[in-house]
Chain A
Amino acid sequence: MKQLSGFIRKEFRHIFRDPRTMIILFGIPIVQLLLFGYVITTEIKDARIAILDKSNDEVTREITHKLLSSGYFKLDAMLDNEGQIDNIFRQGNVKEVVVFQDDFGKKLERDGQADVQVIADASDPNTAQLLSNYTNAIVQDYLQKKFINYKMPLEIKPQVRMLFNESLVGAFMYVPGTMALILIIISAMMTSITIVREKEMGTMEILLVSPLKSHHIIIGKVTPYLILSVINAITIVILGNLVFGVPVRGSLILLMFVVILYIMLALSLGILISTIAASQFSAMFVSIMALMLPTMLLSGFIYPITNMPVVLQVLSNIMPARWFIEAVKAVMLKGVGIGYIWKQLLIMTGMTVIFLGISVRKFKLRLE
């Protein structure tokens, strides 16, 4: 036990004395969380639009006002004629142009029908889709409130409610995802690099000849990363809550349990990589290619799994982060208990056992 504690202390010294390691451990998590939370967002806020109001009556002015006061749109220019539309899109200043036809208000009153044209810049299809949907919804909403006395022949009014994230805040999605990504980086990449470094430096040989058992060496190497990863996870949850308002509705203890299980899984992956990689560089390369990118793309972190081609959906099953994100979201956002996430926990446990099993075999083979 005393042997082990000295060994762990040494590992902490390696970490605290290497500025690059410190940046990866403590700088990147915070920067990434803020980046994902703020920059990569699917929410619409202050999108610049132009309006061509050929009618300029009370109704069109009211609709314009509603659009601009919604918070989603910001007026870039009022246009005078249709010739300007093409140009303003080419300049790239606006994402959408709204055109009211001549005598909009009169036609609406007389015929019960008037045209408003929504033109969006679909060089960015997702944003174009979102903007036109939002515009449409605001116009519909205006009509219903304005002409509340008009009875339509038949009417279905869907009452939509967004459960668990009423205002569709993107950070609710990115906080669990960022956690998945960062914990993989720290736990898997950093441990694989630190173990491979001992091999490169020749110190691993010294340790293997010493009375330390190989499981002592492994425990000594990974314990500091386990502790630092838990601290990181707590920081992310707190930051997510304070900065983005992401709640923890379920049990904090259950959340920490899920986090620690995922860290163990990532650590076992790191150990596995260290048995394969011959140099620190290849350990880093393997970690990035095999873990970071798939974690971002295939885990449901950024792109919904249900929208993927079947092959990738199947592939996403072997992504540890997928199960972690599902479990974390369930605990943080839905506030469920262990009964609802036992499947995810079981899969993560199974993966950990398999990775450790392979690592132990490889470790022994390498010694021979």
Chain B
Amino acid sequence: MITDMENENTVIRVRDLVKKFGQFVADDHLSFDVYKGEIFGFLGANGAGKTTAIRMLCGLLEPTSGELTVAGLDGFKQREAIKRRIGYMSQKFSLYEDLTVNENIRLFAGIYGIPTRVRKEKTEELLEKLELTSARKKLVRDLPLGWKQKLAFSLAIIHDPSIVFLDEPSGGVDPVTRRRFWDLIYEAAHEGITVFVTTHYMDEAEYCDRVAIMSAGKIVALDTPDALKKEWDATSMDGVFLKLARSNE
């Protein structure tokens, strides 16, 4: 049951969402809600339909059928408007490697239409927070991977979006760096930005408030990590995932 109070806090509302490519059904009647300030994990093997789902939520793909509301906007008709309200960080922490830290900040601030004065303030704030002030004129190519990851995340939320989508944001990063990166995510969530994250790493799944697990285009489980562990009688999310996979075979 979804109560009225929860409804007010819903930033992503998905009902019977379907995406077909020809005969192939990539996403089969997905239904879930994501609430304001929540860290929502999206788990699943490659080809389970995660990428297609995240693309619909970002306004990149038009759904075949169902209902989709993102930040109060319609996922069918207002896809361009959705793009202004969300942030996105891809698995490659895609920044421009041959531009400096400063230039990357300036570029993305410009793309999101942030006024110059605000941009300057935000730049200082951001550099200080990431301890990158002395490296502001360095090419991104020369930064360590962990710094690139943090910078990519900070740029994804530079325009104060309602929701930020993180598509496997920790690929190739060691667990310690990953932990530090999650501090940034918690901070953003604390400030009211909803975080929607897909991941392969089960330790990351533990950090989420709630997780949805996808398999063959369907959501097969959705709850808090603790509740899932209890339900599947597992000590870690890894165990939950394995048992789920077996029961779906």
The residue among A10, A18, A208 with the most chain B CB atoms within 10 A of its own CB is A10
Bound-state CA distance A18–B96 (Å) is 13
Q: What does the 1/0 interface line of A1-16 toward B look like (CB < 8 Å)?
A: 0110111001001100
Instruction: Flag whether B112 is at the interface (Cβ < 8 A).
Output: yes
Of A77-85, A158-166, A197-205, A259-267, the one with at least 4 CB within 8 A of chain B: A197-205
What chain A residues lie within 8 Å of B103 (beta carbons)? 10, 13
Within the complex, the shortest CB–CB distance from A185 to chain B, in Å, comes to: 21
Bound-state CA distance A209–B157 (Å) is 13
User: Which of B83, B90, B99, B165 sits near A211, CB closer than 8 Å?
Assistant: B83
Q: Which residue of A is nearest B167, CB measured?
A: A205
Residues A6 and B106 in contact, CB atoms below 8 Å apart: yes
Instruction: Flag whether A151 is at the interface (Cβ < 8 A).
Output: no
Of residues 65 through 118 on chain B, the ones whose CB sits less than 8 Å from some CB of chain A are 80, 83-84, 86, 88-92, 94-99, 103, 106-108, 110-113
Instruction: Flag whether B189 is at the interface (Cβ < 8 A).
Output: no
Instruction: Flag whether B222 is at the interface (Cβ < 8 A).
Output: no
Q: Which residue of B is nearest A205, CB measured?
A: B90
Bound-state CA distance A249–B240 (Å) is 80
What chain B residues lie within 8 Å of A18 (beta carbons)? 98
Residues A7 and B83 in contact, CB atoms below 8 Å apart: no
Q: How many A-B residue pairs have CB under 8 A?
A: 69
Q: What does the 1/0 interface line of A346-368 toward B look like (CB < 8 Å)?
A: 00000000000000000000011
Question: Known: A14-B98, A209-B83, A368-B21. Contact between A3 and B111, CB under 8 A?
Answer: yes
Q: What does the 1/0 interface line of B45-68 toward A look like (CB < 8 Å)?
A: 000000000000011110000000
Residues A211 and B84 in contact, CB atoms below 8 Å apart: yes
Residues B94 and A210 in contact, CB atoms below 8 Å apart: no
Residues A211 and B112 in contact, CB atoms below 8 Å apart: yes
Instruction: Flag whether A318 is at the interface (Cβ < 8 A).
Output: no
Bound-state CA distance A205–B88 (Å) is 9
Q: Which residue of A is nearest B93, CB measured?
A: A202
What chain B residues lie within 8 Å of A210 (beta carbons)? 83, 88, 108, 111-112
Question: Known: A6-B106, A10-B99, A367-B60. Contact between A211 and B111, CB under 8 A?
Answer: yes
Bound-state CA distance A210–B110 (Å) is 11
Instruction: Flag whether A17 is at the interface (Cβ < 8 A).
Output: yes
What chain A residues lie within 8 Å of B110 (beta carbons)? 2-3, 5-7
Bound-state CA distance A207–B155 (Å) is 12
Residues B94 and A209 in contact, CB atoms below 8 Å apart: no
What chain A residues lie within 8 Å of B60 (beta carbons)? 208-209, 367
Bound-state CA distance A368–B80 (Å) is 16
What chain A residues lie within 8 Å of B96 (beta carbons)? 10, 14, 201, 203
| 15 CB < 8 A contacts A-B | A2-B110, A2-B113, A5-B110, A7-B110, A13-B99, A201-B97, A202-B90, A203-B95, A203-B96, A205-B90, A209-B59, A209-B88, A210-B88, A211-B83, A211-B112
The 10 closest A-B pairs by CB, nearest first: A6-B110, A202-B92, A202-B94, A209-B88, A203-B94, A202-B90, A211-B83, A211-B84, A205-B90, A210-B111
Q: Apart from A202-B92, A202-B94, A205-B90, what 20 extra A-B contacts exist at CB < 8 Å?
A: A2-B110, A2-B113, A3-B110, A6-B106, A6-B111, A7-B110, A10-B103, A10-B107, A13-B103, A14-B99, A201-B92, A202-B91, A203-B95, A208-B60, A209-B58, A210-B108, A211-B111, A211-B112, A212-B111, A368-B61
